[in-house]
Amino acid sequence: MSVRQRADYLASLTAQAADLALHAHTALPLALATPMSAASDYFASKSFTGYVKQLEAQAKLAGVVLQGINAVVTSIGMLGKALTRR
């Protein structure tokens, strides 16, 4: 294995461990000790796919709520301008 290949492999292992630590709430030392195949299986599982869909739905809902709040704030601003013109 060349030095470049070894560096790429190590970077891949580190990135996978970081993903496990961030998305699977795994302690970094444990994530670093997890085999790459087990981490890949976790990220390809139905459970993780469902979790990602749940997060996307929550983000979409938050966006809808923020759009509603923005519409109310804009309406209040327009009402204020209309009342000051009188």
Boundaries of every domain in the chain: 1-44, 46-86
Q: Give yes or no for a contact between 36 and 14, defined as CB atoms under 8 angstroms apart.
A: no
DSSP 1: -
Its pTM stands at 0.65
Does the pLDDT of residue 50 top 90, yes or no?
yes
- pLDDT tier at 1 (50, 70, 90 boundaries)? confident
* Structure confidence at residue 60 (pLDDT): 97
Six-digit token string for 59: 């983000």
Helix, strand, coil content of the chain in percent (nearest 5): 90, 0, 10
Averaged pLDDT for residues 40-66: 95
Q: What residue has token string 């030392």?
A: 29
- pLDDT tier at 27 (50, 70, 90 boundaries)? very high
